[in-house]
Amino acid sequence: MGQLSSSSAFSRSTPTQIIVCSIYFFYLFFNFTNVEGFDSLLRLPQSGASRNRPRSKKVFYVDDFGAKGDGVNDDTKAFEDVWKLACSFPSRSKIIIPVGKTYLVQPIIFGGHCRSKLTLRISGTIIAPKDPDAWAGLNPQKWLDFQGVNHLTVEGGGIIEGMGQEWWARSCKINTTNPCRHAPTAMVFHRCNNLKVRNLTVLNSQQMHMAFTSCVRVAASHLRVLAPGSSPNTDGIHISASNLVQIKNSVIRTGDDCISIVGNSSGIRIRNITCGPGHGISIGSLGKWNSSVQIHDVIVDGAFLSNTENGARIKTWQGGSGSATNIAFRNMWMENVSNPIIIDQYYCDSPVTCQNQSLAVKVEDISFVGIKGTSATEEAITFACSETFPCERLYLEDIQLVSYSGESTSSFCWEAQGSCSGLVHPPSCLSLNDSYIEQKVLSSSVLWSI
């Protein structure tokens, strides 16, 4: 079900917007230097502790627990057993999934808390069952399900292969005669704390590839997340109800959002991401089924997007409430991106037309700085905001978006207030509300005091 074209609901000729764009030194308020503090916050306190006492890291090999690693035998039991032992081990331990072997693993729960710090070193390949029936009687939303883990590191250069093809074929987005059902997320981290995930390749998930839900302090890096551009709902990395999450130095090519951030999340930092094909980097969707949400302090700094449906996006359903605030998209390069900059408060990914509603998630204090490259469509900048809760304090600086096919590009604004500075192309259509500038400066000191 396609998303409604956000601009089609509006009359383009309505002369409501005051077009003002002057060089204000407005950017001071969005001073992100404090966000550097993320790095230190996310650094786990490991070296100090281990230097003071002898290193007694215990190593567990999954093969010693009966795993065959031939890609045919079911190795689930061996994974459960090795996890149980390592997780209850009183000092630091490590589980090895060796290189060169392929382990078939059914839907599985890796439960915490573990007694000590644990490293799961995946150097080989873990594959999911091909047949969706393997989930019969189990939670169809998860494959490798990490619950309540703290101080876990997952690394090793290995491959997680979701074998999603049969799930995709049965998706209602591919075959509309099928009912819409959930498919598994390949790696789910729920209620995690101090998690590091790095140096892994995650392929062809049944639905989302990696999800962090209700997590605190996550550092994910050097990930390769790959699925065909045509695969349905295969988000790369999904962040929900989580705080202090950093994702960096990763390549994501999938059929849905490269990164999506939803539900009551804050302190999210995304850096150096290559994305495409896919739907771009999205805040939302927010406010579905009249839900209430707070999202704040999100920075995306450094991304290369090619042939994606969206670039920097915020999407909300009508009828929601709460707010999305203090969000910055910086230094993003776009190549043939359909909606390079988009705020869509009329998002409707539903088979039935969404009714107009007056409630909306308030979108405010959003900046787009250094967004350059090519747009696949004429409308390179879209701000379709709520009539009852207009977008406020949007900020554009150093925007250069030209058309991929050499035509002109334009901006669309509906109930969008804000300002801009420096070169902005296509020209901004934001309406300026002077009284906001002062308010913003006053609140600057608290913005990034996480």
Ligand X SMILES: *[C@@H]1O[C@H](CO)[C@@H](O)[C@H](O)[C@H]1NC(C)=O
Residue ranges in contact with ligand X by CB under 6 A: 9, 123, 156-157, 175, 177-178, 199, 222, 241, 249-251, 263-264, 272, 274, 289-293, 307, 319, 336, 338, 353, 355-357, 376, 404, 433, 435
Task: Decide whether 73 or 178 has the Cβ nearer to ligand X.
Answer: 178
For 387-400, give one letter per residue: b (16+ CB within 10 A) or e: eebbbbbbbbbbbb
Least Cα distance to 223 among 238, 213, 233 occurs for: 238
Task: Decide whether 90 or 406 has the Cβ nearer to ligand X.
Answer: 406
Q: Is the peptide bond before 7 cis (omega within 30 degrees of 0)?
A: no
CB of 124 to ligand X, least distance (A): 10
Task: Decide whether 33 or 177 has the Cβ nearer to ligand X.
Answer: 177
The rounded distance, in Å, linking the Cα atoms of 286 and 323 is: 9
CB of 273 to ligand X, least distance (A): 8
The rounded distance, in Å, linking the Cα atoms of 360 and 385 is: 9
CB of 36 to ligand X, least distance (A): 15
Torsion angle, alpha carbons of 432, 6, 205, 246, to 10: 0
CB proximity list for 449: less than 8 A, separation 6 or greater? 34
Say if residue 72 is exposed, middle or buried (CB neighbours under 10 Å; 0-12, 13-18, 19+).
exposed
CB of 74 to ligand X, least distance (A): 26
Structure tokens given for 21: 């764009």
Least Cα distance to 105 among 84, 133, 134 occurs for: 134
Task: Decide whether 106 or 292 has the Cβ nearer to ligand X.
Answer: 292
The rounded distance, in Å, linking the Cα atoms of 207 and 10 is: 34
Give the neighbor-by-neighbor strand order of the sheet with 339-344.
108-111, 142-147, 185-190, 210-213, 237-240, 259-262, 281-286, 310-316, 339-344, 379-384, 410-414
DSSP character string of 58-116? EEEEGGGGT---EEEEE-HHHHHHHHHHHHT-SS-EEEEE-TT-EEE--SEEEE---SS
**Cα separation values, 415 from 17, 145, 319, 322, Å:** 8, 42, 17, 18
CB of 314 to ligand X, least distance (A): 15
Reported as half-sphere exposure (CB side, CA atoms, 13 A), residue 389 has a value of 20
| DSSP for residue 28 | G
CB of 299 to ligand X, least distance (A): 16
Catalytic-residue membership of 256: yes
CB of 90 to ligand X, least distance (A): 26
Could you tell me if 325 and 365 are in contact, meaning their C-beta atoms sit under 8 angstroms apart? yes
Q: Is the peptide bond before 98 cis (omega within 30 degrees of 0)?
A: no
For 213-236, give one letter per residue: b (16+ CB within 10 A) or e: bbbbbbbbbebbbbbebebbbbbb
Task: Decide whether 21 or 106 has the Cβ nearer to ligand X.
Answer: 21
Catalytic-residue membership of 279: yes
Q: Which residue, judged by CB position, is nearest to ligand X in the bound state?
A: 157
- State the catalytic residue, choosing from 190, 238, 279, 296: 279
CB of 184 to ligand X, least distance (A): 19
Task: Decide whether 193 or 291 has the Cβ nearer to ligand X.
Answer: 291
Task: Decide whether 106 or 321 has the Cβ nearer to ligand X.
Answer: 321
Least Cα distance to 117 among 159, 152, 147 occurs for: 152
Task: Decide whether 13 or 353 has the Cβ nearer to ligand X.
Answer: 353
- State the catalytic residue, choosing from 75, 145, 235, 256: 256
Active site residues: 256, 279
